[in-house]
Amino acid sequence: MSITRLLTFENIVDQRGSLIVLEALKNIPFEVRRIYYMTNLSSDNARGFHAHKDLTQVAICLNGYCRFVLDNGSNREEIILNAPDQGLLITSMIWREMYDFSTDCVLLVLANQYYDESDYIRNYNQFLQEVNNGKN
């Protein structure tokens, strides 16, 4: 089964521009408790390099592009996000790395929980151990 789960949002386009609506428990498959966004990104500085024990997120590249690597401990997949009507659904226990940000990249993330540093796994070997323990 693919690790990469892409949501496609309706894009309401007319001569004035484009409008995309995100609604909790409708086109976003959870109650949104937190929203954050990243700007001033650079192609030289990758981000991420962690998994979450118990967090679900949707990442949307509002402008520009960037690449995501997703890793479930067995397989690695890579995807480019380059359209504001695409949302990348990242569930718990998925290692993610983001890189190759365009200079105009704006990356929005919706999350189903408040920020909690204790939910992070920032060590790849620890991630592999925990993900494999979960399988036994």
Catalytic positions, written as ranges: 50
According to the binding rule CB under 6 A, does residue 115 interact with ligand TYD?
A: yes
Q: Are the C-beta atoms of 118 and 52 separated by less than 8 Å?
A: no
According to the binding rule CB under 6 A, does residue 56 interact with ligand TYD?
A: no
Angle ∠(62,106,109) on CA atoms, nearest 5: 75
3-state SS assignment for residue 126:
helix
According to the binding rule CB under 6 A, does residue 37 interact with ligand TYD?
A: no
From the list 3-11, 20-28, 44-52, 125-133, the region that binds ligand TYD by CB under 6 A is 44-52
Q: Which is nearer to ligand TYD, 2 or 39 (CB)?
A: 39
CB of 88 to ligand TYD, least distance (A): 13
According to the binding rule CB under 6 A, does residue 36 interact with ligand TYD?
A: yes
Alpha carbons 71 and 38: distance in angstroms, whole number: 22
Exactly one of 5, 47, 53, 67 binds ligand TYD (CB under 6 A); that residue is 47
Applying CB under 6 A, the residues found at the interface with ligand TYD are: 34, 36, 47-48, 50, 115
